[in-house]
Amino acid sequence: MGSFFVGNATTDFLFIRPSANPIDAKGFQNMWSSGDLVLESAEITKGHKLELLGTNAAKCVSTLGYKFTYKATQNKDLSTVTSIFKKLTKNGK
């Protein structure tokens, strides 16, 4: 999951962790590849808003539920996430 964000996140991407410490896309990738974090499940538990941004993009605000283990401690969290989706062509642009 982490490597996806490095190639697809905006330059101002920030993930605000439960500790309240923001992390950029590269830090997010490192967090996922460290071996300290093991995702057990993730699901959208509630959709709050879906807005089309022209014909090639959309914005979605939702609540995500996660179950994960961090440094051998099990966690269960809810977070509100804003995602922006961009339509890609067959060649990825």
The Cβ of residue 29 has, within 10 Å, a number of other Cβ atoms equal to 19
Burial call 78-90: b when 16+ CB within 10 Å, e when fewer: eeeeeeeeeeeee
43, 65 in Cβ contact below 8 A?
Answer: yes
Does residue 93 sit within a domain?
no
Q: Is the pTM here over 0.85, yes or no?
A: no
Q: Provide the domain limits for residue 67.
A: 39-86
At residue 12, φ and ψ (nearest 5 deg) are -105, 20
Which residue(s) pair with 74 in the sheet? 69
pLDDT at residue 76 in the model: 93
Residues 79 and 46 occupy one common structural domain: yes
Q: Does 43 share its domain with 66?
A: yes
Q: What is the domain count for the chain?
A: 2
Low-confidence ranges of the chain (pLDDT < 70): 1-3, 92-93
pLDDT for 53 equals: 94
